[in-house]
Structure 1
């Protein structure tokens, strides 16, 4: 098509030209800012997000797929379940060893799914939705296999004692792969409940893109909840080998409430809502004031989810109980913000400002807090509410700002000037307590490495790990912000899947905020220049 020209017409920079100008000027301004002031500007949340999702590929058990991006890993655990006559190939190793622990794995998938539910658009904008769905599905595919009949769930593959005797790559495993299950006579309501929550949450995630799979997950979730509720008991009483590693200290009542909450969200079936109402007091949902949220203790998460229902018209008649849930949820938020009157009701902080719950793997509590605070901040903003703590009123911006401070501490804004997300930034832990990462990759050396050979040749080495465990959030510093990057310092240098999972949504949220802030600042600058 020939374009007509109007050589004598004088051009004016009207509003129709603004999008073009804004786009190109913003690009120039952004490049200048990032080049000249990179030290003082925001962290690269896009990079942190993409790296956090790589970590889950490094933790894969089973047959590694063709599109695997973490290339130093290969197939492992291909005979899992064989002794018991069941296919238990797949799933995730929880940390630096090779046991597949059901409870922390399920919590990991619940938190990945919750991230994808709350921040799906932001994750998609960042181009990471497909990787997030793959990370979730790798876990849920395994749970489908592990749930072999309505009242049977395989709880664990391998055992910690024999596993910890060896320091091997997963590809060379010689340790016991015995599998353990819960059933009617050996119940595990906490494990059944958490797995039900994970599958219910994942069913919401896949509802739009894979309806059949979503329905299948929900089917399993419903059966698992019924099993866990009907045959009650702690899973560590039935699976004794787990007691030294993932004992259920909080019991199973929080998981049953948590599962029912997720099933209500997934199905809108009043039966599950009535369950959390009728058991609110008896199960501690409106009784426990908790200042941590983890693979073991779910109260803060379910209290926060249920308190959001207060704004829904159809739930108004249940206001009294929901208000009690909200009081407990807000206790958690206020304790993180140090806004409760009594210091013992507030979470301790390091001198550098990091939330500090306990010495071993403290970062797990930081990442879950950052997630809960972020989602609650969103809720208050969307409903035009404020939080009333004992020491005063708090708006959504203050909560969001504190959540961001925790995320930024993780990424390097701390006294050690170190990123605790492996592979991110110029300085991060190089000697992560992780068998596969610390030994030369199977892809580079296919020669068998024996059980204790890894201890002899690799564990005690002062050299950095030959494989970078990108995206892993390690245990982190002590209460004084000190961190020692030693492989045998497992309290600080071991990473877990449930540490990183909550960060997927949080990174996506802060990336979205930074992107919109940059565009807004550019627009303001340009509009000012045209006045």
Structure 2
């Protein structure tokens, strides 16, 4: 069912009368409720007002597709925003809102366009029975309902412990948590930290202690996408509960970071230069941790839109587990997206560490996930307007154009989106423009080599599920992950670039907390420069990886090959979930890695 179980409102609109249709309540709790619907437009409007009337007192109404004026506690006047004054015949005006009440009150609600009459009624069937622009979103347990069923590619035997690799990747995200840690914290060497941050919680970005908004949101979106597409892969590895637990941490942070009343989003906590001059535990930081925000006067639509995408996908993810929490996430996602769409401009405050190349890709991805959460066709139309068919270099925290094209193909089956996805992946497959190491890793850049390969492996496995070159993409995607997990020649072979997986793995990640011995021992530059294994095992972290010739140096001071970061693990973890799905469905492909691990 659709996240809000929205009902399609069918109406015949006549001029100079007042429309009145019942609006269903889709969720309620003590002190509030959520309601919404889609109204068919059969008379063109250029500038509009509308009314919401209630059978009981409602203290306030929060809605983001209209300006709100309180007429009385039982009537609110709506007026179009600057971005939606024109409603044309054939459009669907879809909206939702939150009402605040005293106690457990669920009033009867009527909606009317002022100056327009109605001889229609509210349909009694869910929107999934109507046209494709309002059909129900698929359950979070399955892939998108519009995806083509992937053909079977045969069931070869898995040659790696992909379940272990997935479980350990989740542990890495536990190690990156900032704020007050719960009693079930599984990382014994981590404690409470940065409790005085302007917005506590969230994830530290890498081996440092800055909370950068764009890569955190991008990481969250990609991880949630893997849960949406390959939930059975998490279940097969017995990691579903852990994944729900770990992914809620950044979502809670985003809810606290966004103030819909002031339209201000906190997008960074900490100063990169000051932070990078400190080597020690996050629990013992003493440097200033300034906040940076985006607002209508200081826009950052790239990070705002990506955060909205994460919140929307989080709402889909949690709809069957916690409807109240899912409603909070979606309410925040819609208001934040509206802010991003109307306050365009790229956030520059994370320079030189993270500099975004634009905001259209984030707006596109946010539009698709909001469409899947609400089935409001305007979001899908927005996403299509933001898509970009130009050459794509990689899938990364900065550039989500390939993700945008894949998601739009799943929803529309349009050939231009299909061609964009397959064209991008063709550049990554052997014979394309991306270089390969002798042992077969697709090598895009010295910074985050394994990260780029794993991100595209995840996308290839998603595209395979949508019916695109299924056998080829499955084989290639699994082979890239196989290289990362041991099908390489470092240290005689069988070396895993994921820490803690297998018998050989990196001992010296460029990570402050892991380099520190147990308290009360001190930690500082001596630990940075110590040519010895880190006292703490940073389970699951994916290091940057080898150079173009498969050479890798396991040395903490080499912050290129030994960098770890939340975004490094995101596509990697998603690909692992996809591979576990292939094993569970007897579709694991026959692989042929150039340097197979033969322990």
Q: Which TM-score band applies after superposition, normalised by the shorter structure?
A: 0.7 to 0.9
Partner of residue 178, structure 2: 61
Q: TM-score, normalised by structure 1?
A: 0.78
Question: How much does 1:135 deviate?
Answer: 1.4
Change (3 A) 1:286 1:361: closer
Alignment of 1:15-414 (within 5 A): 42-81=159-198, 88-150=199-261, 151-236=263-348, 239=349, 242-248=350-356, 250-277=357-384, 279=385, 283=386, 285-311=387-413, 322-338=414-430, 346-380=433-467, 387=468, 395-414=469-488
Q: Secondary structure of 2:560's match?
A: helix
CA distance in 1, matches of 2:211, 2:286: 15
Question: How much does 1:517 deviate?
Answer: 4.5
Which of residues 523, 539, 542 is equivalent to 1:470? 539
Q: Secondary structure of 1:74's match?
A: coil
CA distance in 2, matches of 1:235, 1:256: 14
CA distance in 1, matches of 2:328, 2:573: 25
Give CA-to-partner distance per residue, 1:360-382, whole Å, 9 cap, x none.
112221121111000111111xx
CA distance in 1, matches of 2:568, 2:529: 25
CA distance in 1, matches of 2:212, 2:461: 28
Change (3 A) 1:162 1:273: same
Partner of residue 508, structure 2: 431
Give CA-to-partner distance per residue, 1:152-172, whole Å, 9 cap, x none.
100100011000111010011
CA distance in 1, matches of 2:323, 2:229: 19
Give CA-to-partner distance per residue, 1:171-197, whole Å, 9 cap, x none.
110122111100111000000010001
Q: Is the 8 A contact 1:261 1:306 kept in 2?
A: yes
Question: How much does 1:419 deviate?
Answer: 0.4
Q: Is the 8 A contact 2:236 2:580 kept in 1?
A: no
Q: Is the 8 A contact 1:350 1:356 kept in 2?
A: yes
Change (3 A) 1:195 1:515: closer
Q: Secondary structure of 1:161's match?
A: helix
Q: Is the 8 A contact 1:431 1:485 kept in 2?
A: yes
Alignment of 1:440-459 (within 5 A): 440-441=517-518, 445-446=519-520, 449=522, 454-455=524-525, 457-459=526-528
Q: Secondary structure of 1:93's match?
A: coil
Question: How much does 1:331 deviate?
Answer: 1.1
Give CA-to-partner distance per residue, 1:436-455, whole Å, 9 cap, x none.
000113xxx136x4xxx601
Q: Which has the higher helix share?
A: 1
Question: How much does 1:41 deviate?
Answer: 6.4
Partner of residue 6, structure 1: none
Partner of residue 80, structure 2: none
Q: Secondary structure of 2:292's match?
A: strand
Q: Is the 8 A contact 1:291 1:347 kept in 2?
A: no
Matched, 1:492 2:561: yes
Give CA-to-partner distance per residue, 1:6-28, whole Å, 9 cap, x none.
xxxxxxxxxxxxxxxxxxxxxxx
Question: How much does 1:202 deviate?
Answer: 1.0
Q: Is the 8 A contact 1:196 1:259 kept in 2?
A: yes
Give CA-to-partner distance per residue, 1:461-502, whole Å, 9 cap, x none.
011000010000111111111100011101110111111122
Q: Secondary structure of 1:243's match?
A: coil
Question: How much does 1:286 deviate?
Answer: 3.7
Change (3 A) 1:352 1:216: same
The number of equivalent residue pairs is 429
Question: How much does 1:516 deviate?
Answer: 5.3
Question: How much does 1:411 deviate?
Answer: 0.4
Question: How much does 1:134 deviate?
Answer: 1.1
Q: TM-score, normalised by structure 2?
A: 0.69
CA distance in 2, matches of 1:160, 1:512: 39
Q: Secondary structure of 1:326's match?
A: helix
Give CA-to-partner distance per residue, 1:415-440, whole Å, 9 cap, x none.
21210001001111100000000011
Give CA-to-partner distance per residue, 1:276-315, whole Å, 9 cap, x none.
23x2xxx4x243121310000010001011111234xxxx
Matched, 1:507 2:581: no
CA distance in 1, matches of 2:283, 2:315: 32
CA distance in 1, matches of 2:477, 2:587: 20
Question: How much does 1:66 deviate?
Answer: 0.6
CA distance in 2, matches of 1:396, 1:308: 14
Question: How much does 1:515 deviate?
Answer: 5.0
Give CA-to-partner distance per residue, 1:93-129, whole Å, 9 cap, x none.
0100000000000011101110110011221232111
Q: Is the 8 A contact 1:98 1:158 kept in 2?
A: yes
Q: Secondary structure of 2:524's match?
A: helix
Q: Secondary structure of 1:184's match?
A: coil
Question: How much does 1:261 deviate?
Answer: 1.4
Change (3 A) 1:41 1:329: closer
Q: Is the 8 A contact 1:290 1:299 kept in 2?
A: yes
CA distance in 2, matches of 1:505, 1:222: 25
